[in-house]
Structure 1
Amino acid sequence: MAAPTDLKEISSSLRNLFTLLTKGPEAEQAAIEKARPKDVRSISLHNLHTGEKSSVDYWIDGQYEKDALAEINKVLRDHRNDAVCEINCELIDYLSSLQRKLGVEDKTLEVISGYRSPASNAKLRQKSRGVAKESFHMKGMAVDIQIPGTSSDLVFNAAKDLKTGGAGYYGKSRFVHLDVGGVRSWRG
């Protein structure tokens, strides 16, 4: 950095130095805190039915971010009737942990099914015997996903290894069901 050459520059530099020196240890601590890397959890979602995409930092320095959670709730809403539900934070953490375990934090999770209203769940039950009457989807506690470029079998096995909640592998449809209703696994 070149030395200041005119009186204005010298005066400004001295003023900045004086301000820094007179603020004391509180200012120094604040500067350190500001420079410290934040503990951040992020997630990227793509709802395959609505086409919506969202990438958010949903947890920063020990706090869930209200606006980010609202965005996640919107993207994971019931695409059949636009009903929105508060998605369980443990489920969001499960998805984030799964991405870290697989080393695919840079990839977007493709969502086949997030929240399901009771009416939507009942309609799906009429079409398929594999839909639970008391589905965790209706409580904002389950999601069906796939990760582009990552085999669903690998996603399923990583989810099982996390022992965070339920993991179901639906090989014919090539998606993985994840929920936070208790640790268990199955193939459908």
Structure 2
Amino acid sequence: MVARPNTTDLTIGQMFAAPPDSPSPSRLPVDLGVESGRRGFLRGLGGLFLGAGAAIAAPTILTNPADAAPVSAPRRQLSFVSLHTNEKLKITYFNNGTYDRSALKDVNHMLRDWRTGEVGSMDPKLLDLLHQLRLRLRTDEPFQVISGYRCPKTNAMLASKSEGVATKSLHMEGKAIDIAMAGRQLSRIRQEALNLRLGGVGIYSRSGFVHVDTGRVRQWGV
């Protein structure tokens, strides 16, 4: 796949039905319902998203909230693969000193609420966070997306079924994403995200993903 500005590679896969309503009390609820190539990634998982503020314990505040640090790269590129729809996207979202509006629309579509199809508006700072995270991870592998944008209806439904879903989730504002990456351990993704100090970072080892957002700088999870 050749990357260039305004170019996407979207392969539409089959939408999957919602998984069982509630997982066992000993397992964190997550927003997963498809098979992936990573062994055991989806094994035994329920069908709920985790809220942006969800935590095994209360999040630890690391520092005061801060805007994303300037990104020096004149050309910023990201790759995604959805574990729910099998869609793939490789795109240059920033070029020649400005964000590409067309590319941002493609990203919004890619990271839409897969349950309802509703498209939100993803925070460009979140994309910059992911761009810097990819550089720190030293890989061109795509981010495996478990949850991007979440519409209020979906969030309310999930919150009514699990205390692990924040009623005011940053997913609803396009400021949060739950990710994994082939060839990189969750612990390393978490640590590199923490090193950026650009927002919240939560790790869900049992469920197989790391949550990052552009909210307050904090951390949680084991």
Count of residues paired in the alignment:
150
What is the deviation of 1:50?
1.1
Moved more, 91-100 or 119-128: 119-128
Residue 143 in structure 1 maps to residue 143 in structure 2: no
State how far apart, in whole Å, the 2-side matches of 1:112 and 1:86 are.
17
Residue 118 in structure 1 maps to residue 152 in structure 2: yes
| Cα distance per residue 1:76-120 (max 9 Å; x no partner) | 00000000011000001001110001111x110000000001111
Misfit runs of 4+, over 2 Å: none
TM-score w.r.t. the length of structure 1 is 0.77
TM-score w.r.t. the length of structure 2 is 0.66
Which has a greater percent of helix? 1
Q: One-letter code of the match for 2:143?
A: L
In structure 2, the partner of 1:175 is 209
Q: Kindly name which structure, 1 or 2, has the bigger radius of gyration based on alpha carbons.
A: 1
In structure 1, the partner of 2:132 is 97
Of residues 23, 33, 45 in structure 1, which corresponds to 2:80? 45
> How large is the Cα RMSD of the aligned pairs?
1.1
In structure 2, the partner of 1:155 is 189
Structure 2 gaps of 5+ residues are 1-72
Residue 79 in structure 1 maps to residue 79 in structure 2: no
Q: One-letter code of the match for 1:113?
A: S
State how far apart, in whole Å, the 2-side matches of 1:182 and 1:124 are.
23
Q: 3-state SS of the aligned residue for 2:141?
A: coil
Q: One-letter code of the match for 2:186?
A: S
Structure 1 gaps of 5+ residues are 1-37
Q: Give me the identity figure in percent.
A: 41
Q: One-letter code of the match for 1:159?
A: A
The higher-RCO structure (CA 8 Å, 6+ apart) is 2
What is the deviation of 1:127?
2.9
Q: 3-state SS of the aligned residue for 2:120?
A: coil
Residue 164 in structure 1 maps to residue 198 in structure 2: yes
Q: One-letter code of the match for 1:166?
A: G
Q: Equivalences for 1:27-66 in 2 at 5 Å?
A: 39-66=74-101
